Structure 1
């Protein structure tokens, strides 16, 4: 079973988005695209490790982290806004 997210799959297919930017384009755009590529690769690695080592998704981990920060509890509306 493949648990790869769309983001992970896209990062694997296009690991260097900045290479698609033409030479005439601004370096700042190329830098932003590089940052996007790196962040998608890092997120994919985090998702994979959470799944393999703890059998938890990144979404569930985020939920648990929010609940940990607010020991008094949160309403569903508060959770949604975070």
Structure 2
């Protein structure tokens, strides 16, 4: 019941004729980001994993300290 290779090639040829070679990568990337956003919405995540990282380092006491550059700029006052 799946698609055969000839059917997939025919669909790709029609897409190439309709949208052009320069437009297809843009369509693919926008479709991928839409799917990611849809999955994120279902999963209940608010932000991607790389945006959830804290902006400091974990101290030995278990607290989060600010980076050295942030500390030096805050002390210069």
Per residue, is there more helix in 1 or in 2? 1
Whether these two folds match at TM > 0.5 is no
Report the TM-score range of the alignment, normalised by the length of the smaller protein: 0.3 to 0.5
Instruction: Name the larger-Rg structure.
Output: 2
Per residue, is there more strand in 1 or in 2? 2
